[in-house]
Amino acid sequence: MDFAAARAKLIEHLADEVKDKRVLDAMSRVPRELFVPAEERYHAYEDRPLAIGHEQTISQPYIIALMTEALELTGGEKVLELGTGSGYQTAILAELAGQVVTVERVPELAASARKVLEKLGYTNIEVHLAEETLGWKQAAPYDAIIVTAGAPRVPDELLDQLAVGGRMVIPVGSRYVQELCQITKRGDRNMLRKMGGCRFVSLIGKSAWEN
pLDDT digits (tens, 9 = 90+) for 44-76: 999 999 999 998 899 999 999 999 999 999 999
207 classed as catalytic: no
Q: Is the pLDDT of residue 175 over 90?
A: no
Q: How confident is the model at residue 209 (pLDDT cuts 50, 70, 90)?
A: low
- Count Cβ atoms below 10 Å from residue 46 Cβ, excluding itself: 14
Q: What is the pTM of this model?
A: 0.95
Least confident of 61-65, 124-128, 139-143, 173-177: 173-177
Tens digit of each residue's pLDDT (9 = 90 or more) over 111-133: 999 999 999 999 999 999 998 88
Q: Which residues contact 196 (CB under 8 A, 6 or more apart)?
A: 179, 180
CATH annotation of 3-198: 3.40.50.150
Region for 87 from its dihedrals, namely left if φ exceeds 0, alpha if ψ lies in -120 to 50, beta otherwise = left
Domain boundaries, the chain: 3-198
* 146-164 average pLDDT score: 93
pLDDT of 203 reads 84
Q: Is the pLDDT of residue 196 over 90?
A: no
The contacts found for 76-79 with CB under 8 angstroms, 24 or more apart, are: 77/142, 77/143, 77/144, 78/139, 78/142, 78/143, 78/144, 79/142, 79/143, 79/144, 79/145, 79/146
Tens digit of each residue's pLDDT (9 = 90 or more) over 3-52: 999 999 999 999 999 999 999 999 999 999 999 999 999 999 999 999 99
Tens digit of each residue's pLDDT (9 = 90 or more) over 71-111: 999 999 999 999 999 999 999 999 999 999 999 999 999 99
Percentage, residues of the chain above pLDDT 70:
100
How far is Cα 8 from Cα 101, in angstroms, rounded to an integer? Answer: 28
How far is Cα 156 from Cα 100, in angstroms, rounded to an integer? Answer: 21
How far is Cα 100 from Cα 142, in angstroms, rounded to an integer? Answer: 9
Computed over its alpha carbons, how large is the radius of gyration of the chain?
A: 16
Annotated active-site residue in 28, 59, 174, 207: 59
User: Peptide bond preceding 141: is omega within 30 degrees of 0, i.e. cis?
Assistant: yes
